[in-house]
Chains A and B, each alone.
Chain A
């Protein structure tokens, strides 16, 4: 039988079935769809806002007013804007860290612990070398912060590389180890003797603090964050190492065929990933709280996961998403004045991540008519 004949036969039969069969649909996986386009991201975020709006409505508030309040609180005033920037610094640094790990499919969810390890390591400098001048102590704190976080990252990478231990579990568990280690220091050896039993290290001196911009709370950690993101963008795009990472991320099997040793990359990437989070921890203690204290992170390391996901690991989009999430945290505080708990922002973070993942998943499917 020749080609055209087959084609006619096929179309005939499909017409028949469309007429005779009842209307029905099926949902099937479309293998050609891999990366969801940008409008899926926007749609997912909007969906998250609608879902949260229902909760807000159930609390007797008008979601539109609440959202407006959050926006003006976070971005509308110069105070709000600087606060948003202050919050977005650790988010951006941690976000770079997790994004670089996610590029090669190493699911580091331990930025929180790496952040705390960096904060502790930086504080150790102030505790054990209190008299150093600023031009020595700040670089030393930066270095120790990065190394501290990096070691915390390696604690996940080494078992993953050599014993195939799932990094999700180790990185998450190490977060709790870091939290308890921090509590040990601030309740124990590093507790400020003049602090009236407050669980925190002694206040940093001027030399141990990052300089501030004008008389705002905005500190020079912002420069670390911007430099970090630019460096990340540059390394990924223009270096051999970045090329190897992109290749591993796109197709690890093919990367193996190109002679790339993936295990070695995991170690280095986790060192950097942890190092960035550690730098965030350093800049937080040195720039914002000026001491190591109990509960220093409101979950920056976790929020950074959503920040990275929203940006789809793209360096420049990371700037935008960390700024938005910084705003979300600040906006959460500002709605407290109208009687909503600030945890509304945690709920929104969760809802956004949920919808992003669901949106990416849903995009892979198509609805087809049966027949």
Chain B
């Protein structure tokens, strides 16, 4: 039986500090199949594949390749074993040509002769053509389109003799036509007996391309199915899970008057891509509005616009009866919008500074914190001390670099900074990401308390349990638009999952 499988991963556990990315995962892929690893962002798909390609090592568990247990210690080891991975962010040297990138790292004699690279170019071109992967081999990478760069990456793995090819979110950078072409290539590889594993969160692609599907949820692999035995609807349900998060739902109360009204908002991302498209959103006082959705559908841009980090092109944002300043961080702070950014160490805190400086971020211009341009140093220290006690932040001292604190304490510090000023609206993006259960619970309590005090909360999260547990209303964002709105209680995971995957309701919902 085991000969059938080219890869068997048994009881794989991967921990990053206190966070468990993979929790006793059993994964197996058959020889000569296209196997899709399906799951939302951050469920541990890429981590699993990185262990297979030698980027990470499993904390425990074993990997069996063609019936033999192996230790993959580095990408080089993986290469020797015939495993090649195409990462989401390409590993290419921009100013070298496609062919040079492909042969890079190849062991050969020091003197290669004048025709060496020409021969290699022909070799690469032949290989590429064989798999239907066209790209100009002698042009530098930076001149190639993203789709072409991906083809270079694929040919690189093939050139190195991989018979197990892993593609991490391959279609996220491709146009639909390019995606079609990619699938053709994958069929060709399959026909040659190569095993292909691709990770994705797009249901349509899974159904279009793969033979078998493994579904991951919260670091665990929950199901492995044959494509023939399933459909998009079932996959959507499996992806978001079935159990209801009713455990500690908040008591419902009637919300207050409208606080934030966003109308017909158009926002463009850094490279001119339209990130928000005629987006409509309303948050009332005393209400938690959850925004669910697969990453990259405009969540980051929505948070940035509301906090003044990004300007909008068209539409209007009315806040607390007035117009919000377009693209002004100070304007947003002064209007009373608090922000818990999605990556606290990247953009929320300054790791090398102490608690005092980190708490001062948004208030250092106020009279209480500084006078005539001078910081009120001793008053600020006392104030920090009191906030640290109030929010129960565990830190060795108010001067200790916050980098040294645990994730939960960092988040508490961030919340302390954002909440103590009595904001009217809290924009919290993935507020419990990377936190353990206890710390997450603390964050949830803080958000619930704000709601109780009549503040508005916009909770943007990929954790559906969190969104369902806390939100009075759940909005689902897809392609820069709110495609679904569900009230507390009437929301089912299945329905949300459908909206998240961009599937409109077809006919009446069936009983769950």
Contacts and interface: CB of A to CB of B under 8 A. Distances in A.
Interface stretch (A65-73, A85-93, A236-244): A236-244
10 contacts: A10-B59, A34-B403, A35-B352, A240-B370, A240-B375, A247-B350, A256-B309, A257-B339, A257-B348, A259-B362
Contacts of A9: 60
Given A254-B361, A259-B329, A239 B352 contact: no
Task: Please report whether the interface of chain A is mostly helix, strand, loop or mixed according to DSSP.
Answer: helix
Interface in A144-182: none
Contacts of B332: 259
B361 A239 contact: no
A247 B357 contact: yes
Interface residues of B, number: 37
Contact of B353 (A1, A17, A247): A247
Given A251-B350, A251-B352, 18 more contacts: A1-B24, A6-B13, A13-B60, A34-B352, A239-B370, A239-B375, A240-B373, A241-B373, A243-B360, A246-B357, A251-B346, A251-B349, A254-B349, A257-B341, A257-B347, A259-B308, A259-B329, A259-B332
B330 interface: yes
B53 to A, nearest CB: 17
A250 B353 contact: yes
B445 interface: no
Contacts of A370: 73
A255 B364 CA distance: 12
B329 A257 contact: yes
Contacts of B328: 259
Interface in A78-123: none
B470 to A, nearest CB: 23
Contacts of A240: 364-365, 370, 373-375
Interface in A19-64: 32, 34-35
A258 interface: yes
B415 to A, nearest CB: 15
Contacts of A256: 309, 329, 347
B23 to A, nearest CB: 10
A257 B361 contact: yes
B357 A239 contact: no
B377 interface: yes
Interface residues of A, number: 28
A247 B352 contact: no
A294 to B, nearest CB: 42
A251 B343 CA distance: 13
Given A10-B59, A259-B330, A238 B375 contact: yes
Interface in A232-287: 237-243, 246-247, 250-251, 253-259
Contacts of B307: 257
Contacts of A13: 60
Q: Which of A10, A247, A251, A258 has the most CB of B within 10 A?
A: A258
A239 B373 contact: yes
Nearest to A32: B403
A238 B374 contact: yes
Interface in B162-205: none
A261 to B, nearest CB: 9
A7 to B, nearest CB: 9
A255 B309 CA distance: 11
Contacts of A254: 346-350, 361
Interface string B330-363: 1011000001010000111111110001001110
A112 B107 CA distance: 47
Interface string B368-391: 001001110100000000000000
Interface in A355-371: 370
B11 interface: yes
Contacts of B24: 1
Contacts of A241: 373
